[in-house]
Amino acid sequence: MVPASYYLALSAVLFVIGILGVLLRRNALVLFMSLELMFNAGNLAFVTFARMFGNLEGQLIVFFVMAVAAAEVAVGLALIVAIFRSRQSIDLDELHNMKG
């Protein structure tokens, strides 16, 4: 059998890749995909813990995370579409004049 820590290590690796995607890429769509990657890494850790402790609540939390992620993606993509309509670009570096 595979130790549970291997699954957690895989989840950590995926989370770090997602973080690097958010920090390195300037395309708003790819940034959103990196966010989904991080959601998935957290979900994998939750499912692993549910299996480790024989507790089904971890899987339920994953279910709720999926629902909230779907809502987040719907609103986020609508925002991207609105920003693209007004500026013809979804490069995050070109949105710096929104601050202040």
Cβ distance to another protein smaller for residue 3 or 100: 3
> Is residue 63 part of the contact set for another protein (CB under 8 A)?
yes
Output phi, psi for 87, to 5 deg: -120, -5
Cβ-based neighbours of 63, under 8 Å, separated by 6 or more: none
Q: Is 15 in the site for another protein (CB under 8 A)?
A: yes
* HSE value, Cβ hemisphere, 13 Å, CA-based, for 78: 6
How many CB atoms are located within 10 Å of the residue 46 CB?
A: 19
Find the shortest distance in angstroms from Cβ 5 to another protein: 4
CA 44/CA 36 separation, integer angstroms: 12
Query: What is the smallest separation between the CB atom of 87 and another protein, expressed in angstroms?
Result: 11
User: How far is C-alpha 71 from the geometric centre of its chain's CA atoms?
Assistant: 13
User: Binders of another protein among 69-98, rule CB under 8 A?
Assistant: 69-75, 77-82, 84-85, 90-91, 93-94
Q: Which two structure tokens, joined as six digits, stand for 60?
A: 């339920």
Q: Please report, as ranges, the residues that interact with another protein according to CB under 8 A.
A: 1-10, 12-21, 23-27, 29-30, 32-34, 36-37, 40, 43-44, 47-48, 50-52, 54, 56-57, 59-60, 62-64, 66-75, 77-82, 84-85, 90-91, 93-94
